[in-house]
Amino acid sequence: MSNSSGTGTPALDLDELRSRFTEVFGAVPDGVWQAPGRVNLIGEHTDYNEGFVLPFAIDRTARVAVRFRANSAVRMLSTFGNQGLTTADAHVLDPATARGWTKYPLGVLWALQQRGLDVPGLDLLLDSDVPRGAGLSSSHAIECAAILAVNELAGGGLSAHDMVQATQRAENDFVGAPTGIMDQSASLLGAAGHAVFLDCRDQGVRLVPFDAEASGLVLLVIDTKVSHSHSDGGYAARRASCELGADVLGVQALRDVGLADLEEAAGLLDPETFRRVRHVVTENDRVLQAVELLERTGPEAIGGLLDASHASMRDDFEISCPELDLAVDTARSAGSIGSRMTGGGFGGSAIALAPAGAEQEVRDAVGRAFARAGYTAPDIFRVRPAAGARRLA
């Protein structure tokens, strides 16, 4: 068994995954594809406002072994959770009956069919060490691994850009989560030692150096164990507020509102919508500043931006929760140079950028604070910017 640092489902190595596939399905897989989860360094709830984000692919991945079949039967199994086979028919894909993680690969098949690709049945074995429900995009990791596999086996010829669109369609219209394009872009386009600076309006991408450990820092994920789902109401409600704000301000998207416009916006919007808008506008600005600082100085320069981003999500966008706030505040007082919740919010994980020498104190202090508050013990682990999705075998 191989495993990356921290806790979570242990990952099978490649040979173990292939022999497990052969045992279960009675034939060798056509190939194995892998796609990482992501941490968003900064730029939250800006993607669907056509703004800027700065996520990175992490060294935690979903891997799918896949074999195309001669008929339309789909059979799926994971190495974790319920050990029974899930079956479906590739010609009759129905979101209402898709359960658990299987809705992600099924959503991908559906989205590819919507684009006119003829996708047959298949056997799929999933293994993943991306913690689930932790705000690290375990679902997009599965979707990206699955779309790479199916695109290649079906000769779909899709570009990374097409795959970003198709996985968004799968999420929005099959899974039922009205999410943007950040997560799959990070998973598909990430690179070791870099964050992915993405302009969500034109999908322009620039890799920005982000190697915390080379600067004597560590990037810790603090998984609060408060689970969240973007198919629930909170995420959609924030998205609706942003659309309302853009409408009232007469712009295509909040991307078109600048810091200098906020004063006037305050007079035009109701107080709650104004706070939502202010978060998006200031967050876009923080992403641009973070990119500049990373390129000019290095990771040690962005701590203040991470803190400001968290305060904005807590007070203006109101998507934090007591566990995330405690993680962030404690990490800060224990020596981190910056800390914020990451991902869609309402639970999931916080990140803390800390000097390597303060790592143990941050871990201990957060653990103690959670115990004192009577919260479930958090999982705390390091992540590093890693390569994006690819074929393994």
Residues that bind ligand GLA (CB under 6 A): 40, 44-45, 47-48, 179-180, 182-183, 230, 343-344
Select 169 or 230, whichever has its Cβ closest to ligand GLA: 230
Select 86 or 187, whichever has its Cβ closest to ligand GLA: 187
Least distance (Å) between residue 123 CB and ligand GLA: 28
Question: Of how many residues is the chain composed?
Answer: 393
Residue 183 among the catalytic residues: yes
Select 47 or 50, whichever has its Cβ closest to ligand GLA: 47
> Whole-angstrom Cα distance, residue 342 to residue 334?
19
Six-digit token pair at 60? 């935690």
Least distance (Å) between residue 386 CB and ligand GLA: 18
Cβ proximity of 63 and 390 under 8 Å: no
- β-partners of residue 126 are 64, 78
Cβ proximity of 125 and 79 under 8 Å: yes
Contacts 24+ apart (CB under 8 A), 268-271: 269/245
Residues contacting 362, CB < 8 A, separation 6+: 220, 330, 331, 334, 335, 336, 352, 354, 380
Tally of CB atoms within 10 A around 252: 10
DSSP state of 192: T
Select 48 or 210, whichever has its Cβ closest to ligand GLA: 48
Q: Strands 52-68, 122-128: parallel, antiparallel or unpaired by DSSP?
A: antiparallel
DSSP state of 13: P
Report the run of H or E that residue 351 belongs to, with start and end: strand 349-355
Find the DSSP H helices in the chain: 14-25, 103-114, 138-153, 160-169, 182-189, 233-249, 262-268, 271-296, 303-315, 322-333, 359-373
Least distance (Å) between residue 376 CB and ligand GLA: 22
Least distance (Å) between residue 184 CB and ligand GLA: 8
Least distance (Å) between residue 168 CB and ligand GLA: 8
> Whole-angstrom Cα distance, residue 245 to residue 167?
27
> Whole-angstrom Cα distance, residue 80 to residue 275?
41
Least distance (Å) between residue 77 CB and ligand GLA: 26
> Whole-angstrom Cα distance, residue 270 to residue 31?
54
Least distance (Å) between residue 183 CB and ligand GLA: 5
Select 121 or 190, whichever has its Cβ closest to ligand GLA: 190
Select 362 or 386, whichever has its Cβ closest to ligand GLA: 386
Q: Which of 47, 123, 183, 223 is catalytic?
A: 183
Active site members: 183
